[in-house]
Amino acid sequence: MLKESVEKALNEQINKEFYSAYLYLSMSAWFQTKGLNGFANWMTVQYKEELTHAEKFFAYVNNRSGKVTLAPIAGVPVEFKDVQSIFEYTLEHEQKVTASIDALMDTAIAAGDHATQSFLKWFVDEQVEEESNVQEILDTLRLINGQVNGIFMLNRELGARNFVDDTTASAS
Protein backbone atom coordinates (compact mmCIF):
# COMPACT_ATOMS: atom_id res chain seq x y z
CA MET A 1 0.00 0.00 0.00
CA LEU A 2 1.31 3.41 -0.95
CA LYS A 3 1.47 6.23 1.55
CA GLU A 4 -0.53 9.27 0.48
CA SER A 5 2.55 11.44 -0.09
CA VAL A 6 4.16 8.82 -2.35
CA GLU A 7 0.94 8.15 -4.28
CA LYS A 8 0.46 11.88 -4.89
CA ALA A 9 4.05 12.29 -6.09
CA LEU A 10 3.78 9.25 -8.37
CA ASN A 11 0.60 10.64 -9.92
CA GLU A 12 2.33 13.96 -10.53
CA GLN A 13 5.17 12.09 -12.23
CA ILE A 14 2.73 10.23 -14.48
CA ASN A 15 1.49 13.63 -15.69
CA LYS A 16 5.06 14.85 -16.22
CA GLU A 17 5.89 11.76 -18.29
CA PHE A 18 2.83 12.28 -20.50
CA TYR A 19 3.79 15.96 -20.84
CA SER A 20 7.29 14.90 -21.92
CA ALA A 21 5.82 12.56 -24.52
CA TYR A 22 3.60 15.33 -25.85
CA LEU A 23 6.55 17.75 -25.93
CA TYR A 24 8.70 15.36 -27.97
CA LEU A 25 5.86 14.62 -30.34
CA SER A 26 5.52 18.38 -30.91
CA MET A 27 9.23 18.62 -31.62
CA SER A 28 8.96 15.70 -34.03
CA ALA A 29 6.18 17.51 -35.87
CA TRP A 30 8.32 20.65 -36.13
CA PHE A 31 11.23 18.67 -37.56
CA GLN A 32 8.91 17.00 -40.08
CA THR A 33 7.72 20.37 -41.36
CA LYS A 34 11.37 21.33 -41.91
CA GLY A 35 12.12 18.14 -43.88
CA LEU A 36 14.40 16.83 -41.13
CA ASN A 37 12.90 13.37 -40.86
CA GLY A 38 15.91 11.88 -39.05
CA PHE A 39 15.59 14.43 -36.25
CA ALA A 40 11.83 13.83 -36.31
CA ASN A 41 12.45 10.10 -35.93
CA TRP A 42 14.73 10.69 -32.93
CA MET A 43 12.03 12.75 -31.23
CA THR A 44 9.35 10.19 -32.09
CA VAL A 45 11.44 7.54 -30.36
CA GLN A 46 11.71 9.90 -27.36
CA TYR A 47 7.93 10.30 -27.43
CA LYS A 48 7.46 6.52 -27.32
CA GLU A 49 9.97 6.17 -24.48
CA GLU A 50 8.15 8.77 -22.41
CA LEU A 51 4.84 7.00 -22.99
CA THR A 52 6.32 3.74 -21.73
CA HIS A 53 7.71 5.57 -18.70
CA ALA A 54 4.24 6.96 -17.92
CA GLU A 55 2.76 3.49 -18.35
CA LYS A 56 5.39 2.00 -16.03
CA PHE A 57 4.48 4.52 -13.30
CA PHE A 58 0.77 3.89 -13.99
CA ALA A 59 1.18 0.12 -13.56
CA TYR A 60 3.29 0.57 -10.44
CA VAL A 61 0.67 2.69 -8.68
CA ASN A 62 -1.98 0.11 -9.53
CA ASN A 63 0.25 -2.81 -8.47
CA ARG A 64 0.75 -1.15 -5.08
CA SER A 65 -3.03 -0.81 -4.59
CA GLY A 66 -2.86 2.92 -5.15
CA LYS A 67 -5.20 5.08 -7.16
CA VAL A 68 -4.06 6.58 -10.44
CA THR A 69 -5.39 10.10 -10.83
CA LEU A 70 -4.82 11.49 -14.30
CA ALA A 71 -4.59 15.26 -14.60
CA PRO A 72 -4.84 17.43 -17.71
CA ILE A 73 -1.62 17.71 -19.69
CA ALA A 74 -0.35 21.26 -20.09
CA GLY A 75 0.12 22.64 -23.58
CA VAL A 76 3.57 22.34 -25.15
CA PRO A 77 5.49 24.65 -27.47
CA VAL A 78 4.82 24.09 -31.16
CA GLU A 79 7.28 26.56 -32.69
CA PHE A 80 11.02 26.47 -32.25
CA LYS A 81 13.91 28.65 -33.42
CA ASP A 82 16.21 26.01 -34.90
CA VAL A 83 17.67 22.52 -34.46
CA GLN A 84 20.24 23.48 -31.84
CA SER A 85 17.76 25.43 -29.72
CA ILE A 86 15.45 22.39 -29.68
CA PHE A 87 18.20 20.23 -28.23
CA GLU A 88 19.16 22.94 -25.74
CA TYR A 89 15.51 22.97 -24.65
CA THR A 90 15.46 19.15 -24.59
CA LEU A 91 18.50 19.04 -22.30
CA GLU A 92 16.90 21.60 -19.95
CA HIS A 93 13.72 19.54 -19.95
CA GLU A 94 15.56 16.30 -19.18
CA GLN A 95 17.37 18.04 -16.32
CA LYS A 96 13.97 19.05 -14.92
CA VAL A 97 12.78 15.45 -15.23
CA THR A 98 15.91 14.30 -13.40
CA ALA A 99 15.18 16.76 -10.60
CA SER A 100 11.60 15.50 -10.45
CA ILE A 101 12.72 11.85 -10.21
CA ASP A 102 15.22 12.84 -7.51
CA ALA A 103 12.47 14.62 -5.54
CA LEU A 104 10.24 11.58 -5.95
CA MET A 105 13.04 9.39 -4.57
CA ASP A 106 13.39 11.80 -1.64
CA THR A 107 9.66 11.44 -0.98
CA ALA A 108 9.92 7.65 -1.01
CA ILE A 109 12.93 7.77 1.34
CA ALA A 110 11.11 10.12 3.73
CA ALA A 111 8.11 7.78 3.72
CA GLY A 112 10.31 4.74 4.35
CA ASP A 113 8.91 3.19 1.15
CA HIS A 114 11.64 0.76 0.15
CA ALA A 115 9.64 -0.79 -2.70
CA THR A 116 9.18 2.59 -4.38
CA GLN A 117 12.85 3.39 -3.85
CA SER A 118 13.74 0.15 -5.62
CA PHE A 119 11.28 0.92 -8.43
CA LEU A 120 12.69 4.44 -8.88
CA LYS A 121 16.29 3.24 -9.14
CA TRP A 122 15.64 2.31 -12.80
CA PHE A 123 14.43 5.86 -13.52
CA VAL A 124 17.42 7.43 -11.75
CA ASP A 125 19.74 5.41 -14.01
CA GLU A 126 17.59 6.15 -17.07
CA GLN A 127 17.88 9.89 -16.52
CA VAL A 128 21.67 9.71 -16.52
CA GLU A 129 21.42 8.05 -19.94
CA GLU A 130 18.79 10.51 -21.21
CA GLU A 131 20.85 13.57 -20.31
CA SER A 132 24.02 12.03 -21.74
CA ASN A 133 22.35 11.20 -25.07
CA VAL A 134 20.94 14.69 -25.49
CA GLN A 135 24.22 16.30 -24.43
CA GLU A 136 26.10 14.26 -27.05
CA ILE A 137 23.76 15.46 -29.82
CA LEU A 138 23.98 19.03 -28.55
CA ASP A 139 27.79 18.87 -28.50
CA THR A 140 27.74 17.63 -32.10
CA LEU A 141 25.37 20.42 -33.12
CA ARG A 142 27.68 22.98 -31.55
CA LEU A 143 30.61 21.55 -33.52
CA ILE A 144 28.57 21.59 -36.72
CA ASN A 145 27.73 25.25 -36.04
CA GLY A 146 24.76 25.31 -38.42
CA GLN A 147 26.66 23.93 -41.42
CA VAL A 148 24.20 22.28 -43.79
CA ASN A 149 26.40 19.26 -44.54
CA GLY A 150 26.79 18.53 -40.83
CA ILE A 151 23.06 18.88 -40.19
CA PHE A 152 22.38 16.56 -43.14
CA MET A 153 24.78 13.90 -41.81
CA LEU A 154 23.42 14.09 -38.26
CA ASN A 155 19.87 13.95 -39.63
CA ARG A 156 20.75 10.67 -41.39
CA GLU A 157 22.37 9.26 -38.25
CA LEU A 158 19.39 10.12 -36.03
CA GLY A 159 17.04 8.58 -38.58
CA ALA A 160 18.54 5.17 -37.83
CA ARG A 161 17.39 5.19 -34.18
CA ASN A 162 14.79 2.57 -33.31
CA PHE A 163 12.43 2.39 -30.37
CA VAL A 164 13.18 -0.35 -27.86
CA ASP A 165 10.95 -0.73 -24.82
CA ASP A 166 13.61 -1.14 -22.17
CA THR A 167 11.10 -0.67 -19.34
CA THR A 168 10.20 -4.36 -19.58
CA ALA A 169 13.74 -5.40 -18.64
CA SER A 170 13.05 -4.65 -14.97
CA ALA A 171 10.18 -5.55 -12.70
CA SER A 172 7.34 -3.05 -12.53
The residue extents of the domains of the chain are: 4-70+85-162
pLDDT digits (tens, 9 = 90+) for 114-141: 999 999 999 999 999 999 999 999 999 9
Q: Given a cut of 50, is residue 172 above it in pLDDT? A: no
pLDDT for residue 129: 95
pLDDT class for 169, splitting at 50, 70, 90?
Answer: low
| Contact by Cβ (8 Å): 116, 101 | no
* CATH T-level assignment (fold) for domain 4-70+85-162: Ferritin (1.20.1260)
Mean pLDDT of the region 82-94: 98
Q: Given a cut of 70, is residue 149 above it in pLDDT? A: yes
Q: Given a cut of 50, is residue 39 above it in pLDDT? A: yes
Instruction: Look up the pTM and report it.
Output: 0.93
